[in-house]
Amino acid sequence: MLTEEEKKTLRKNLIRYEGNVPHMYLDTEGHVTIGVGHLVRNLTVALKLNLVVGKTGAIATKEQITADYEAVKKQWKADTAAPYYKKYTQLIMKEVEVKRLTNKHIKNFNDELKRLFPDFDGYPAEVRLALLDMIFNLGMTKLRDLFPKLNKAVKAKKWAEAAAESRRKFPVSDARNKYVRALFEDAAKAEIKNSK
């Protein structure tokens, strides 16, 4: 189980690498997104969001949410930053709701990682943080299916090998990849030090 300090570190780094955008926008793959990397898979999901009208703070109607979602969905342009989409939206998500969604994701991904790695709770904090960053970015299916060598290394608790297999492809930034690799490497170094 993640400690409160680990959750705080995780949230801080998710915001650093995912951003924290209060309006709907398109991510680097053209998917509607909001908050701290919260994927809005379709209009049905969008209609369940707790959004307010940016200018008045009034609770958004289904018609307003539909209008924002559709306006953003049709704007896709490669390499367009999230702030670009603000001009196509009227609605925002309050910070308290962004935090609630982020915490929900952290809990869900934590649970998924425990299913994938039965010893997850016993892993060093650095390893748990690295895996949570990866699953938040990739999702469970891609983490499981596209990283077989990483999964094998993690299950064997070979943190240096996991570090070498943790690199994600573009659009994941070099900085984010280095951050995750360093977490695995720190766990490997600590294990060596503790075994002496």
Q: At CA 102, angle to CA 98 and CA 108, rounded to 5?
A: 145
Q: Tell me the pLDDT tens digit for each residue of 107-136.
A: 999 999 999 999 999 999 999 999 999 999
Q: Which of 99, 134, 159 is the last residue of a domain?
A: 99
Judge if 139 and 95 occupy the same domain: no
Residue 90 contacts residue 64 (beta carbons within 8 Å): yes
Report the b/e string of 169-188 with b at 16+ CB within 10 A. eeebeeebbebbbebbbbbb
Same domain, 124 and 87: no
**Residue 6 within any structural domain of the chain:** no
Predicted confidence band of residue 78 (pLDDT cuts 50, 70, 90) = low
Give the angle subtended at the CA of 62 by the CAs of 22 and 32, to the nearest 5°: 40
Same domain, 123 and 187: yes
The pLDDT tens digits of the residues spanning 129-167 come to: 999 999 999 999 999 999 999 999 999 999 999 999 999
The H or E element containing residue 53 is strand 52-53
Give yes or no: residues 123 and 191 share one domain.
Answer: yes
Helix (H, G, I), strand (E, B) or coil at 55: coil
What's the total number of domains in the chain? Answer: 2
The answer to whether residue 109 sits within a structural domain is no
**Residue 51: which domain range?**
18-99
C-beta of residue 32 within 8 angstroms of C-beta of residue 40: yes
Mean pLDDT of 67-80: 87
